[in-house]
Amino acid sequence: MNLNSAFTQPMSAPAAAPTVENAPVQQHALWLPALRFSLVGLVFCGAVYSGGVTLLNQLLFPAQSNGSLIQATDGKVLGSVLVAQPFSAERYFHGRPSAVNSDPMNTAGSNLAPSNPVLRERVAADSARLAALYQVNPESLPLDLLASSGSGVDPHISPAAAQLQVERVAKARGCATTTVTALVAQQTQAPQWGVLGEPRVAVLPLNLSLDQACPVQAP
Amino acid sequence: MDVILILLAAGLLSWPLGRYMTAVFAGAPHWSDKVFAGPERLMLRLFGVDGRAGMNWRQYGLAFVAANLLLGIIAYVLLLCQHLLPLNPDNVGPLSWDLALHTAVSFLTNTNQQHYSGQLQLSFFSQSVVLVTLQFLTPAMGLALALAVLRGMTGGLNSATAKAGEPRNLGNFYQDSLRAFTRVLLPLSVVLALLLGSQGVPSNYQAATEAVLLEAPQSAEQAQIQRIPQGPVAAMVAIKQLGTNGGGWYGPNSTNPLENPTPLSNALQTIALVLVPMAMLWMMGGMLSRTASVNAAAASQAGLTPHTGLTPRAGQGFARMSFAVMAVLSLCFVAAAVYSEMQPNAAFAGLGASGGNLEGKEVRFGTDLSALWSTLTTQTSNGSVNAMHDSLNPLAGLISRAGMLINAIWGGIGCGLINFIVYIWLSVFIAGLMIGRTPEMFGRKLEKTELSWLGLLLVLPSAVILILTAITLSVPEWTANSNPGLHGISQVFYEYTSAFANNGSGFEGLGDNTPWWNLSTVLALLLGRYLPLLIPLIIAGRLAQKPVTPPGAASLPLQSLTFGVTVVVVILLLNFLSFLPSMVLGPIGEALVDLR
């Protein structure tokens, strides 16, 4: 009796070809199929899938597929929209603390637990430094300027963290605060589709646009 | 808000996928044959396998073991030789033998625990060929094993016709694995890889790009350029998420903006974490109800009254009960973790504005989406991360460990469902004791031998995890943890839990690339993968041969609310009893210290 046809077709239908459901249990070779299964899998997943998908992405989304690079007019690579660079000069906006000095080849978080005294010491030192630099109460410092990012190359800061730095950057560049504020607004991204994620400011594009709009001679 | 939307989307998408998977694995003609039947025939011919030939549980299990053994050996050799192979534009060197062994076993067991750092230590060949292959084939084989267990529990595919003592057909291992690959994982991965590509995940075979730093470093010793790592990343990230694998291209996984660039890519990757494990439950419902109909039709054709412990309604009801149990546990855990990360990090008290714990998290995701991910990734045996678990607040750290210890809330593809069925058997046994009945499921009795196997499964996690943790903690030179005190204990406990649960996430501060760590976690990985998959197959194979008792008044309806609550209690109680002391030494102790 054919169970397969019993379920999918009228009872009177002629018996279909044998399927896995009605074949008898029989002897099986053990090692050769396992070996061939592994090798075929390697070729298919490694070459056909990985290669095919990479090729398709190159055709459909060339800019994104090559690392979202920012290039100067002469083709020189200035960085990637997705990767933070280290900034400490007065004239630039600063990104988040990084456990790896924003090196994308060596990405990592601090991996310090909330109970770890090393974390407490680091945050206390940063908090005191930033409170003195911006002349504000430590309890108004945006947390993302104190907490190190998970990847070590988080390209964004919160809008509050950008706001805090506007005056310092404007002064260092001898540039109107309103110009800097306008550039910050330009580089601020709302949550995607209005709901997903958090509002954020991309630091490297912001600093690049500052150099364009309000250039200074490097000291 | 976005947390709810993401969960809702995953739940809604899992239903049609589950229906599709039911049809695909039923073997009946299906519209997808037009696309896939030809290539599958070709591949089966390349394997040298007749896909229609049925296997009993022994043959099925042996085929699984043989395929894993050979795949593991090939992967190990290829990883060891990576510096001699092509596709290595960044010229990375060879791996040490113990790191290569750990990496091969870790990916072979669908764990993807990483003791290496992606962009620094592995070539493009190792990642996009060796690891991607394991990321596809291991969940496919896991799914196949779940199919075999489900078929065994209902008497095998030939249950309506087999005579007493005749071997039961649990399907063909290669046919099942192949279909899981071609018709489920592959199409989903292609779509996801393209969506991720559009968001900025790199897809190329170039060496790292050099960029001149905008602000030149003060001292001349510091690098003046930044090297941005490239590679065929999108292809790997897609299957890493969909196949409950978790091993990412870059070091800190989906925390890295190149691997997870936008909130949209994050949402897609979060949905992909739970999509297939959720759909497995709907597939189970479809399969059980289909088996019940087939048996009833066969019986009525033979002029007999169908006597089976299973009706189509009961099959669907059982799947709905299972989904509800997992959903309730999952949502409670998510809510607790989101709440936990909204609380300030204890180290920041008085030093900054009030707000959640941002240490180790990314601005574009914030605390909510990071907490959601950390919960789902530990429930599903995936283990990818979008925030650093070492820096989570203690409650969320506890939640993530609880998800791994239970290992059956959604769970890994195949193994999650199998682990859940083990919990069902245990619940049936305990409930049976309470009402004074022989435990049975779908009319088949669980007897002494089956219960002995279940007992072994019950003590296995605590034996492996706790013994290895104790040994490692007793030798300080082996421990290599980066945090002092109670959190240092947590780091070691987390690493072995993650290995045994085949999860792969980590408290990453641990200096875990040492021969001791590599070899001891290999042991936990192997025990945690193969015993919890093969022992249930043995039990299911034994159940398949048993005569069916018609349901009576005293039978336990598995689809009832009462039984659902029993299952929740059994799951929580068993894990509570096994692991409460280690939780007190870890996250609970940390939380108390923070309060003080």
Among B55, B133, B197, select the one facing A61 at the smallest CB separation: B197
Token pair belonging to A218:
């490097």
Chain A interface mutation, best of B359, B374, B386, B390, highest count of A Cβ atoms under 10 Å: B359
Query: Which one of B63, B198, B345 has the shortest CB-CB distance to A34?
Result: B63
pLDDT, tens digit only, all 596 positions of chain B: 789 999 999 999 999 999 999 999 988 889 999 999 999 999 999 999 998 889 999 999 999 999 999 999 999 999 999 999 999 988 888 999 999 999 999 999 999 999 988 778 899 999 999 999 999 999 999 999 999 999 999 888 888 777 777 889 999 999 999 999 999 999 999 999 999 999 999 999 999 999 999 998 877 777 889 999 999 999 999 999 999 999 999 988 999 999 999 999 999 999 999 999 999 999 999 999 998 888 888 878 877 766 567 888 889 999 999 999 999 999 999 999 999 999 999 999 999 999 999 999 999 999 999 999 999 999 999 999 999 999 999 999 999 999 999 999 999 999 999 999 999 999 999 988 888 888 888 888 899 999 999 999 999 999 999 999 999 999 888 888 888 888 888 899 999 999 999 998 888 888 888 999 999 999 999 999 999 999 999 999 999 998 887 776 667 788 889 999 999 999 999 999 989 888 888 888 888 887 76
Interface subset of A 75-134, CB within 8 angstroms of B: 76-83, 85-89, 92, 96, 102-117, 119-120, 123-124, 127
Mark yes or no for CB contact B56/A25 under 8 Å: yes
CB–CB contact B209 A115 (8 Å):
no
Task: Specify the pLDDT at position B79.
Answer: 95
Task: Please report the pLDDT score of residue B479 as a whole number.
Answer: 85
DSSP 8-state code for residue B210: E
- Whether A79 sits inside 8 A of B52 (CB atoms) is no
What pLDDT score does A6 carry?
A: 35
Q: In chain A, which among 21-60 make CB contacts under 8 A with chain B?
A: 21-26, 28-42, 44-47, 49-54, 56-58, 60
Nearest-neighbour CA in chain B from A3: distance (Å): 7
Rounded to 10 degrees, the C-alpha dihedral B271/B273/B274/B275 comes to 60
**Closest to B27 in 3D by CA, of A19, A65, A42:** A19
Whether residues A18 and B52 touch (CB distance < 8 A) is answered with yes
- Per-residue pLDDT at A217: 61
- Find which of A111, A127, A140 to mutate to test the B interface (most B CBs within 10 Å of its CB): A111
Distance (Å, whole) CA B126 – CA B132? 9
**Which string of DSSP letters, residue by residue, matches A21-36?**
TTSPB-----HHHHHH
DSSP B282-340: HHHHHHHHHHHHHHHHHHHHTT-----S--HHHHHHHHHHHHHHHHHHHHHHHHHHHHH
B171 CB contacts (<8 Å, ≥6 apart)?
A: A20, B54, B55, B60, B144, B147, B148, B151, B157
Find which of A100, A196, A204, A217 to mutate to test the B interface (most B CBs within 10 Å of its CB). Answer: A196
Rounded Cα distance between A215 and A208, Å, is 10
- Give residues with Cβ within 8 angstroms of A125, minimum separation 6: none
**Terminal Cα distance for chain A, rounded:** 89
Question: Percentage of chain A with pLDDT > 90?
Answer: 74
Residue B90 tokens, joined? 């960044």
Phi-psi sector, B595: left (phi>0), alpha (psi -120 to 50), beta: alpha
Q: How distant is the Cα of A206 from the closest Cα of chain B, in angstroms?
A: 12
Contact between B199 and A64 using a beta-carbon 8 Å cutoff: yes
Residue A3: what pLDDT?
39
**Tens-digit pLDDT profile for residues A140-176:** 999 999 999 999 999 999 999 999 999 999 999 999 9
- Closest-approach residue (CA) in chain B for A8: B28
Chain A residue numbers with beta carbons less than 8 Å from the beta carbon of B590 are 113-115
| Nearest-by-CA chain B residue for A89 | B215
Q: Is the pLDDT of residue A21 over 60?
A: no
Nearest chain B residue to A124 by CA: give it.
Answer: B351
Q: Which pair of structure tokens corresponds to residue B455?
A: 């007992």
Query: Distance (Å, rounded) from C-alpha B97 to C-alpha B108?
Result: 16
User: Is the CB of A50 less than 8 angstroms away from the CB of B345?
Assistant: no
Closest residue to B358, CB basis, from A53, A61, A143:
A143
Interface test with A, best of B362, B370, B386, B482 (most A CBs within 10 A): B362
pLDDT score recorded for residue B305: 64
Q: Which percentage of chain A shows pLDDT scores above 70?
A: 87
Judged by a CB distance cut-off of 8 A, whether residue A187 touches chain B is: no
Helix (H, G, I), strand (E, B) or coil at B557: coil
Residue A86: closest C-alpha in chain B:
B215
Q: Is the pLDDT of residue A11 over 60?
A: no
Determine which of A27, A49, A88 to mutate to test the interface with B (most B C-beta atoms within 10 Å): A49
Provide the shortest C-alpha distance from residue A178 to chain B (in Å).
23
Inter-chain CB proximity B391 and A57 less than 8 Å: no
Q: Residue B267's closest chain A neighbor by CA?
A: A196
Give Rg (Cα) of chain B: 24
Q: Could you tell me which chain A residue has the CA closest to the CA of B591?
A: A115
What is the full DSSP assignment across B421-471?
A: HHHHHHHHHHHHHHHT---EETTEE--HHHHHHHHHHHHHHHHHHHHHHHH
Rounded to the nearest angstrom, the minimum Cα separation between B420 and chain A is 26
Residue A117 has pLDDT above 80, yes or no: yes
- Residue A8 banded pLDDT, cuts 50, 70, 90: very low
